[in-house]
Structure 1
Amino acid sequence: MTTNAVPSKPVAGSRKPVRIWVDGCFDMMHFGHANALRQAKQFGDYLVVGVHSDAEIEHHKGPTVMKEAERYAAVAACKWVDEVVPDAPYLTSLELMDKYNCDFCVHGDDITTLADGTDCYQAVKDAGRYQECKRTQGVSTTELVGRMLLMSTEHLRRRQASDSNDENLANFRAGSTIGHPTTVVSHFLPTTRRLGQFADGREPKAGDKVVYVDGGFDLFHVGHIEFLRKAKELGNYLLVGVHDDHAVNAVKGSNYPIMNLHERVLSVLSCRYVDEVIIGAPYSVTKDVLEKVYHVNVVVHGSTPIDKDIDGSDPYRLPKELGIYKEIPSPNDTLTTDTIVSRIIAHRTLYEARNRRKAEKAAVEAAMEEEERRKKAEK
């Protein structure tokens, strides 16, 4: 059974729409995944994305951080995706592509192998139905997990004396990382071109009701997505303010944010419900926010507790005074950035082992690629 994200877009003339197949784990769906899907969509007209089950990934790669239902929903919310196929097999076969009427498959320029080391895409490559797109450098699920493992090393050691995950998470939020930096430097280098690729550039139409929401949107997940979907339903145009690293750090604690501002902005921009983003929006909603980008009609917050600004003030004081503040039930308040961090902390050994295997595999793949280049140079 497939999950339709949006109907197929019409194609000019009588040309048959080109259908693209992409598959993957999409664990902790991030802007690197979104960029791969954006590039894949450029090869055709309709993008079908197969997402592997937890069991399939466990067998071939190791444990996932996000549950399969969470991963299915995250992929479906990406604005370049037209259809999601849950429980897609790890091996990409011609029969599978034919079942979904896909003309060819697109994958990043990194090698993906089965548990036995064979190429997942060899059959479609041999059939001439394979295309590659560039992998986004500086981000991966493995790298994000590594950031959290690095940041939580000290309080994970303390866990040996206490079985309380809540205590460990409290230590994490308080910045108890003796001997380790309180923030992790990302290898991602933002460019205006990348931001332009993710932004639609659509302005509100006359009469559109502009909805404003703000937040850190760290480790962008299905809880964020569902909130944005509900907020968008209150108007026609969704403007999202993403707080800068300093603001998030000041309010949330010394180990946050895990992802830097531009990484978080790209993740939000990839969501199909978002029309525009204010990069580095002030933590408190100001008159400038309400008037100088677009005229904001309603300011929305979830039902989760509101963290005060660093001066102790209510960040939503102004929209409340103006009568344009609205609170909506948080659609998935059981899944938060803290929840994801807790999962990593609770299963540290598993994720460290997975990251080691990934690093070893990358080294082997790099050696294979170097050997291939050497052979070509000798010819």
Structure 2
Amino acid sequence: MENNAANKERRIYVDGVFDLIHWGHLNALRQSSELGGKIVVGVVSDEETKKTKGIAPIYTAKERATLIRGCRWVDDVIEDTPYDVSLDFLTNVAMCDIVAHGDDIAIGSSGKDCYEEPKRAGKLVHFRRSRGCSTSTTLGRLVEALTSDRFSHMASDEKGKAAWERFEHLLSVHDLEMAKEQYEDDGLHAMEADQPRKDMFVKFPRSRMSAALFSKFVPNTPRPPNAKVVYVDGSFDVIHVGHLKFLEKAKKMGDYLIVGLYDDQTVRTVKGNPFPVTHLMDRALTVLAMKYTDDVIMGAPFIPSKNYFETLGVSIVVVGDRSDDPLMTRVFEPHSVAKQMGILHKIDSGSTMTSMDIIERVSSRLSHIKDNIVKRCEKENNLYH
């Protein structure tokens, strides 16, 4: 009993860049919380990230910290932290008892282990790194998305076609190798390779997830009796602060928040190639990890019916005032039924950020990003294989 009480009071430090946040980042925080204690997350500064990784993050430090604060397993956040964790920083700045990190090797700009001092002091504990996902992979998919017809005008590159072909080959090998960590190829990759480029969306390993792991992300929040149930829907592809602010405001309008996630084919139909950048399972895990979410409907309808809302017990449907596809929503009016029922409410999330902003940030730094991804993918492939 005494050990359990002590564990609840101890502070566990977890740090990272957390750029283009994905379920692997959030699974690290979830595993750290299972160690018992308060989770204190250090968000590495833009300057430290650029010095160590050779490239500045796509999301700003403030945006990354905001997203981490939105995670249900986080108790405290420290912004602009150093990449290397010294014992002095751990004890006197973060005021933590131990530091938790994945079972991979973290090398700082000096070429040394980032956690060398805490490790020597016996204050480093490990959790299992999530295989098959990384910021490099997500960023690579965003870069590849810029080669689609929709965004080709944003992807001009003086290095020409040969450079693109080399990059795309390495990215496809990297994605396949990451997937092989847990799964054998199902034979469909070869079939896909024969498909014309115009018929393809952004390539990524198929959605494969154990029920045991997925269930650990489900909040299992009991619905209060007579609860005011709020419903929102969307793709939530590559989650950003605009998504988080929207979820936060929507939750405040009721007692229980249900998020409807469009499946991959629906996103592709509504938004066109090259979306979605991340598949449904990735998107579901990320949304489930946000502290405002009580439940998720996977494969939600683009145009929900009255019966659908009544079955879920929805009291209010909330939509944002910004969209990446205003023409599509005007033509189809996906929330026309909710409007007829008198339960539709439009809100301003307080953030102007959309998925197009991410695409534009990537396109503005394309050559540098592409070269950096090649190096990072090669490093990850060497590390795990």
- Is TM more than 0.5 here? yes
Q: C-alpha separation between the residues in 2 aligned to 1:117 and 1:68? A: 24
Letter in 2 for 1:239: I
Give 1:36 shift: 0.5
Of 338-347 and 217-226, more deviation after overlay is shown by: 338-347
CA contact (8 A) 2:7 2:36 kept: no
Q: C-alpha separation between the residues in 2 aligned to 1:33 and 1:241? A: 22
Backbone CA RMSD of aligned residues: 2.4
Q: What secondary structure, in the 3-state scheme, does the structure 2 residue paired with 1:115 have?
A: coil
Give 1:348 shift: 1.1
TM-score normalized by the length of structure 2: 0.82
Residue 247 of structure 2 is aligned to residue 228 of structure 1: yes
Partner of 2:133: 139
Of 77-86 and 306-315, more deviation after overlay is shown by: 306-315
Equivalent position to 2:100, from 65, 81, 106? 106
Equivalent position to 1:69, from 50, 62, 69? 62
Partner of 2:14: 22
Residue 254 of structure 2 is aligned to residue 260 of structure 1: no
Q: Which runs of 5+ in 1 are unaligned?
A: 1-10, 162-176, 368-379
Give 1:179 shift: 6.7
Q: C-alpha separation between the residues in 2 aligned to 1:131 and 1:15? A: 14
Partner of 1:377: none
Residue 348 of structure 2 is aligned to residue 348 of structure 1: no
Equivalenced residues, count: 340
Q: What secondary structure, in the 3-state scheme, does the structure 2 residue paired with 1:21 have?
A: strand
Give 1:365 shift: 4.1
Q: What secondary structure, in the 3-state scheme, does the structure 2 residue paired with 1:87 have?
A: strand
Give 1:183 shift: 2.9
TM-score normalized by the length of structure 1: 0.84
Equivalent position to 2:234, from 204, 210, 215? 215
Give 1:157 shift: 8.0
Residue 45 of structure 2 is aligned to residue 53 of structure 1: yes
Pick closer, same or farther for the CA change 1:55–1:311 going to 2, 3 Å: closer
Runs (4+) off by over 6 Å: 308-311
Pick closer, same or farther for the CA change 1:74–1:97 going to 2, 3 Å: same
Letter in 2 for 1:83: D
Partner of 2:377: 359
CA contact (8 A) 1:216 1:243 kept: yes
Of 38-47 and 146-155, more deviation after overlay is shown by: 146-155
Pick closer, same or farther for the CA change 1:132–1:12 going to 2, 3 Å: closer
Give 1:13 shift: 5.3
Counterparts of residues 1-379 of structure 1 (less than 5 Å)? 17-61=9-53, 62-99=55-92, 100-153=94-147, 155=152, 159=156, 181-186=200-205, 188-293=207-312, 295-305=313-323, 307=326, 312-333=331-352, 335-362=353-380, 365=383
Which structure has more helix as a fraction of its residues? 2
Give 1:285 shift: 1.9
What are the superposed Cα offsets for residues 232-274 of structure 1, whole Å, 9 maximum, x if unpaired?
A: 0101110100011111111111211111111111110010111
CA contact (8 A) 2:146 2:363 kept: yes
Pick closer, same or farther for the CA change 1:44–1:16 going to 2, 3 Å: closer
Letter in 2 for 1:57: T
Q: What secondary structure, in the 3-state scheme, does the structure 1 residue paired with 2:236 have?
A: coil
What are the superposed Cα offsets for residues 319-364 of structure 1, whole Å, 9 maximum, x if unpaired?
A: 111111100013212x111111111122111111221221343355
Partner of 1:371: none
CA contact (8 A) 2:10 2:97 kept: yes
Q: C-alpha separation between the residues in 1 aligned to 2:382 and 2:210? A: 31
CA contact (8 A) 2:157 2:367 kept: no
Q: C-alpha separation between the residues in 2 aligned to 1:179 and 1:54? A: 36
Q: Which runs of 5+ in 2 are unaligned?
A: 159-195
What are the superposed Cα offsets for residues 280-315 of structure 1, whole Å, 9 maximum, x if unpaired?
A: 10011222431223x111000011257577994311
Give 1:15 shift: 6.6
Letter in 1 for 2:332: S
Q: What secondary structure, in the 3-state scheme, does the structure 1 residue paired with 2:274 have?
A: coil
Q: C-alpha separation between the residues in 2 aligned to 1:261 and 1:309? A: 21
Pick closer, same or farther for the CA change 1:77–1:15 going to 2, 3 Å: closer
Give 1:187 shift: 5.1
Pick closer, same or farther for the CA change 1:158–1:36 going to 2, 3 Å: closer
Letter in 1 for 2:156: R
Pick closer, same or farther for the CA change 1:16–1:238 going to 2, 3 Å: closer
